[in-house]
Structure 1
Amino acid sequence: MNSIDPEITARLELMQQEEQELVWDTFNSETALQLGLHLTQEADHRSQAVTIEITLRGHRLFLHAMEGTHPDNENWIRRKNNVVNYFGSSSWHTALRLRSENKTLEKDFDLSESDYVLAGGAFPLILKGEGQVGTITISGLPDEEDHDLVTSGIRSFLEH
C-alpha cells in the first residue's frame, strides 16, 4: 500500500486550515490597494523581489512588479491563478496534494501546462458567506517561499 509522507500530510492540513482562516468580511479596490502595498513592503523587508497581483471577480485590482522581477512572472501568475480558480485551493496546496496522489494536470485533468502550473504563490480570495471571489498571487521566489509570503502577508494584514 502506498503511504503518504506524514510531513506532506501535515503540510496539506495546515494549508487547508489557512484557507479556512484567511477569509475576508469585505473586499474592494481600496482593500486590494492596501493589501498590495502591504505585500510589497513585506517582500521589500525580506529583500525579495516579486510581482504581486490581486483580482476580484475577474477584475485585476492590483499589479506591481518590484525592481528585479521579470515580465515572465505575469505568465506564471496567470497560470497559478488558473489552478486556484479550477481547484478552489491555493496553487501550492493543489501542487502538493496532486504530487502526493501521483497526479498531473495534463494526464488526470486534461489541463494544458501552457495555461496551468503546479507552483506556489496563488491564494484564493475568499469572502465570508460567498466563498472564493478572486486571487491574491505572488511570483518570483521558489514555490514554498511565494506561498509563505502571500499567506503570512494576508495574515498580518487581516490582524491589523
Structure 2
Amino acid sequence: MDTSNQQLKQMEQEEQELRFTSFTNDTALELGLLLVEEARQTGKCITVDITRAGHRLFLHAMEGTSAENEDWIRRKNNTANHFGCSSWYIACRLRSEGTTMEEKYGLPLADYVGAGGAFPLIVTGEGQIGTVTVSGLPDQEDHDLLISALRRFILR
C-alpha cells in the first residue's frame, strides 16, 4: 500500500475513533481551551472554532493570527460539513486523484478548501453535529494538532 493510501486509511480510522458520547456547550468550551493550551505548549499560534449545527460555541484567535484565519476556518468547515469527514482527508484524497474540488465537484474555491484543520464533531447515535477547526499552521500541522488534542480529550 502506498503512503497516500496509508494516510487516508489512518484518517478514516481517526474519524471512527474520535467520537463523542455527548457534546454540550460546556464540552465545546473545554475542548477549545484544550486546543489553545496544546498550541501554547508547542509554541504555535492558531485560531480555534467549534461550531454545532451552524451555532458557533467557541472561537479564540491567539496572538499572531489574523482575520484571514477565520476565512480559512469558514472554508474548511464548509468542506468538512459537505463531505462529512475531515478537510485534510478530502485534500489528500483529491491530491492522490490528481484533481480539485472545483474540477471534481464544482465547489468554488471561495467557499471550500482542501486544507488541513477541520474535523467533524460526531456524537454516537446522532451522527455529525458540527465541526472543530483550527487554522494558522501548515495543513498537516493543523490536522495533527487537532487530532492530538481530540485524542487527549476523548480518550481521557
When normalised by structure 1's length, the TM-score is: 0.95
**CA–CA distance in 1 between the matches of 2:155 and 2:100?**
36
Give the CA deviation at 1:159.
Answer: 2.1
1:108 aligns to 2:77 (yes or no): no
1:157 aligns to 2:119 (yes or no): no
Give the CA deviation at 1:103.
Answer: 2.1
**CA–CA distance in 2 between the matches of 1:116 and 1:141?**
18
When normalised by structure 2's length, the TM-score is: 0.98
Report the secondary structure of 2:98's partner residue: coil
**CA–CA distance in 2 between the matches of 1:158 and 1:17?**
14
1:66 to 44, 62, 65: 62
| Structure 2 residues not aligned, in runs of 5+ | none
1:129 aligns to 2:122 (yes or no): no
Give per-residue Cα distances to partners, 1:51-85, cap 9 Å, x unaligned: 00001111100000001111100000000000001
Identity score, percent: 56
1:139 aligns to 2:142 (yes or no): no
Structure 1 segments of 4+ aligned residues over 3 angstroms from their partners: none
Report the secondary structure of 2:133's partner residue: strand
1:55 aligns to 2:51 (yes or no): yes
2:83 to 81, 87, 90: 87
2:72 paired residue number: 76
Give per-residue Cα distances to partners, 1:10-44, cap 9 Å, x unaligned: 01000000000000000010000010000000000
The alignment of Structure 1 onto Structure 2 pairs a total of residues equal to 156
1:45 to 27, 30, 41: 41
Report the secondary structure of 1:119's partner residue: coil
**CA–CA distance in 1 between the matches of 2:24 and 2:18?**
16
Q: Which moved more, 1:11-20 or 1:150-159?
A: 150-159
1:29 paired residue number: 25
**CA–CA distance in 2 between the matches of 1:11 and 1:107?**
23
Give per-residue Cα distances to partners, 1:111-154, cap 9 Å, x unaligned: 00000011000000000012111000000000000000011101
Question: Cα RMSD (Å) of the superposition?
Answer: 0.8
